[in-house]
């Protein structure tokens, strides 16, 4: 069920009306849980059992960690994490393993390749892992322990709601248990932050429906074999357009999720913080898909040893974390290569920083670093758009050889037009950060400027939305 579909709007309106009915206040969590079941089952009813199985594993594991035999706590936490990972690996990576290591005409290989990919499995699996790990880490902390109800029915209700809450169920943000569980309480209509909800939802829907959905009709040309006869300049513009599209698509989804959660009284972590103005690769990953970056750092990089075991081990941990993070995005080896590329960039950057070779104080130097980071990140997005690695290599070859072919002026013009909001969005933030008192008082103008911008975005959502399409991160 897409966020920009009529059935979804109807689901939200009905749920919202019931949710804030005073007589039903004690049923708020069950109401949102039922709405989440409807949301997930709408398109994948045949895989609803998998979500319920995942939830059940985390209910049992987290409950036994707190209330089971203290001697077996580590065992319960371990099997809970392993069970989560086995489900993820089987459904997400079974087809990849079948294609890579088994004959295509064999019964086992063909069966693995035919496995369906459940929507959102990467996201709700990671949330389940965070619940089990957080419960194990904080099993003796009374403030956290009190969130794991002794009553098994109440605990079941809480865990299901945490994992299945529909705004973040299929594409995040990845909400950690220690951030979400303390928020579960009675919510009141008077406490809704209406201005925040309005602005977040309008910006999110604008980025998705106006920017990303219009760009996708032109970045489609990146797909094999359409790109083979396009000019080198057109191919570069298309790749730039896809960089704009994937940001608008995923940042748009995340903003919609934040706004929807706030309507029901819950706060999600910010998932994007102007990533394309990052002046380093580490800064980029503090700004892009922040919930995944923080999850990988907290539950993988630090447990591996982080930077506590010497420089060499630090570089290995960085590479391993990013390669696994790349594979998390999709069941193709190109995603591992994408993760390797980012891991390598982070490792080299850290090495150069350790020797003091990246100290830049001038504005021009910082700007040049930002351009280099953006160019590298944008080039790497090719592996997202073309998961078949040989297609990505063919695209690079076409850039190098199609210098004299005619340009696709229509696609170039449309990509330039619909990239303006993303570029402006980042430049406005950059200007805000660089603004100094010497430039004069601008604060009184901001409210009127914001009002005009949000009015324009709302108008364009109504009049100039692209053809509806799934969010890019649904496939992950």
For 121-152, write each residue's pLDDT tens digit: 999 999 999 999 999 998 888 888 888 999 99
DSSP-H helix ranges across 355-444 = 363-380, 382-385, 389-401, 409-434
Tokens encoding 313: 């081990």
Question: Where do we find the tokens 């390669």?
Answer: 323
Tokens encoding 332: 């193709």
What pLDDT score was predicted for residue 104? 63
- Global pTM? 0.92
Contact by Cβ (8 Å): 163, 54: yes
Question: Where do we find the tokens 């902390």?
Answer: 141
Please name the residues in contact with 392: beta carbons below 8 A apart, sequence gap of 6 or more: 334, 382, 383, 386
What pLDDT score was predicted for residue 463? 94
The yes-or-no verdict on residue 437 having pLDDT over 60 is no
Give the span between the Cα atoms of 50 and 66, in whole angstroms: 25
Largest interatomic CA distance in the chain: 72
Return the DSSP state at 473: G
Q: Please state whether the peptide bond connecting residue 144 to the residue before it is cis, i.e. omega within 30 degrees of 0.
A: no
Average the pLDDT over each of 55-64, 228-237, 302-311 and give the range with the smallest value. Answer: 302-311
Task: Show which residues are catalytic.
Answer: 329
Helices (H) and strands (E) in the chain, counts: 22, 0
The H or E element containing residue 97 is: helix 94-101
DSSP-H helix ranges across 232-286 = 232-263, 281-285
Give the span between the Cα atoms of 443 and 437, in whole angstroms: 11
292 CA to centre of own chain: 7
Give the span between the Cα atoms of 32 and 38, in whole angstroms: 10
Where would I find the beta strands (DSSP E) of 141-291? none
The yes-or-no verdict on residue 445 having pLDDT over 90 is no
Give the span between the Cα atoms of 345 and 283, in whole angstroms: 12
For 224-274, write each residue's pLDDT tens digit: 999 999 999 999 999 999 999 999 999 999 999 999 999 999 999 999 999
Return the DSSP state at 176: -
C-alpha separations of 326 from 121, 165, 293, 342, 387 in Å:
15, 25, 11, 9, 12
Contact by Cβ (8 Å): 3, 208: yes
Contact by Cβ (8 Å): 127, 177: yes
Average the pLDDT over each of 10-24, 137-151, 277-291 and give the range with the smallest value. Answer: 137-151
Most confident of 81-95, 160-174, 236-250, 318-332: 236-250
What pLDDT score was predicted for residue 329? 86
What pLDDT score was predicted for residue 105? 67
How many other C-beta atoms lie within 10 A of the C-beta of residue 274? 18
CA quadruple 385, 391, 393, 396: dihedral positive or negative?
Answer: negative
Give the span between the Cα atoms of 88 and 317, in whole angstroms: 22
Tokens encoding 164: 């299945």
What pLDDT score was predicted for residue 359? 78
Average the pLDDT over each of 98-112, 158-172, 316-330 and give the range with the smallest value. Answer: 98-112
Nearest by Cα to 412 from 246, 239, 248? 239
Give the span between the Cα atoms of 167 and 256, in whole angstroms: 8
Please name the residues in contact with 18: beta carbons below 8 A apart, sequence gap of 6 or more: 24, 31
């Amino acid at each position: 069920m897409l966020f920009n579909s009529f059935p979804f709007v109807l689901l939200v309106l009905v749920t919202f009306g019931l949710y804030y009915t005073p007589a039903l206040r004690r049923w708020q969590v069950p109401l949102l849980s039922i709405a989440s079941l409807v949301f997930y089952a709408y398109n994948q009813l045949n895989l609803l059992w998998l979500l319920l199985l995942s939830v059940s594993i985390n209910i049992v594991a987290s409950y036994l960690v707190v209330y089971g035999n203290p001697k077996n706590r580590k065992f319960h936490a371990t099997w809970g994490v392993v069970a989560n990972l086995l489900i993820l690996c089987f459904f997400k990576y079974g087809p990849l393993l079948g294609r890579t290591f088994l004959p295509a005409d064999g019964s086992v290989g063909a069966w693995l390749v035919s496995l369906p990919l459940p929507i959102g499995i990467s996201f709700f699996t990671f949330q389940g892992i965070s619940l089990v790990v957080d419960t194990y880490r904080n099993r003796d902390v009374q403030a956290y322990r009190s969130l794991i109800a002794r009553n098994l029915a109440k605990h079941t209700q809480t865990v299901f709601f945490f994992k299945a809450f529909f705004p973040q169920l299929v594409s995040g943000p990845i909400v950690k248990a220690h951030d979400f569980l303390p928020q579960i309480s009675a919510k009141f209509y008077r406490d809704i932050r209406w201005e925040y909800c309005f602005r977040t939802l309008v910006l999110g829907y604008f980025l998705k429906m106006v920017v990303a959905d219009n760009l996708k009709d032109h970045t489609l040309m990146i797909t094999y074999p359409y790109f083979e006869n396009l000019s080198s300049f057109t191919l570069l513009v298309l790749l730039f357009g896809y960089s704009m599209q994937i940001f608008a698509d995923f940042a748009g989804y995340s903003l919609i999720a934040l706004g929807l959660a706030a309507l029901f009284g819950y706060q999600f972590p910010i998932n994007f913080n102007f990533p394309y103005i990052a002046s380093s690769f580490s800064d980029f990953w503090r700004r892009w898909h922040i919930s995944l970056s923080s999850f990988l750092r907290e539950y993988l990089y630090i447990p591996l040893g982080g930077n506590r075991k010497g420089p060499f081990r630090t570089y290995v941990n960085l590479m391993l974390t990013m390669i696994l993070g790349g594979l998390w995005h999709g069941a193709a080896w190109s995603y591992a290569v994408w993760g390797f590329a980012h891991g390598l960039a982070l490792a080299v950057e850290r090495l150069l920083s350790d020797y003091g070779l990246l100290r830049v104080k001038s504005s021009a130097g910082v700007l040049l670093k930002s351009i280099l980071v953006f160019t590298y990140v944008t080039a790497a997005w090719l592996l997202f758009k073309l998961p078949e690695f040989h297609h990505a290599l063919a695209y690079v070859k076409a850039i190098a050889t199609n210098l004299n072919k005619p340009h696709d002026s229509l696609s170039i013009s449309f990509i330039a037009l619909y990239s303006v909001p993303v570029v402006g969005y980042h430049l406005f933030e950059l200007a805000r950060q660089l603004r100094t008192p010497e430039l004069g008082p601008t604060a009184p103008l901001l409210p009127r400027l914001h009002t005009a911008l949000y009015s324009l975005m709302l108008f364009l959502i109504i009049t100039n939305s692209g053809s509806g399409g799934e969010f890019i991160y649904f496939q992950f």
